[in-house]
Amino acid sequence: MALELKTLSAEAIGIKEFDGELFMSQIDHVTTIKTGLIEFFFKDGQTKLGEYTTKPRQPEWTEERRKAMSEKIKQIKEAKKNGSK
């Protein structure tokens, strides 16, 4: 996401590659409107929207995955219990 945010920031101020000093000189603040949409607030009063995509961090918790994780946790707890005696 950091790389994509730099790309969006560069586009917002009209340059091809992100420049932190230029960004700080022109942008007052950035607000997340909702997931996938941010708004850049310029020091001169104008605003621009930027869209981005997010990638899920983990696959969804299917019933099969829940059962597998539950079993794994039981095994870990049992191993700790037996190892601590």
Strands 27-34, 47-51: parallel, antiparallel or unpaired by DSSP? unpaired
Phi and psi of 63, rounded to 5°? -60, -40
Mind listing the pLDDT tens digit for each residue in 15-67?
999 999 999 999 999 999 998 899 999 999 999 999 988 777 777 788 998 99
The pLDDT value recorded for residue 35 is 86
pTM of full prediction above 0.85: no
Mean pLDDT of 3-9: 87
Helix or strand run (H / E) with residue 6: helix 2-12
User: Given this model, what pLDDT does residue 82 score?
Assistant: 85
pLDDT at residue 52, as a whole number: 86
**Is the pLDDT score of 1 beyond 60?**
no
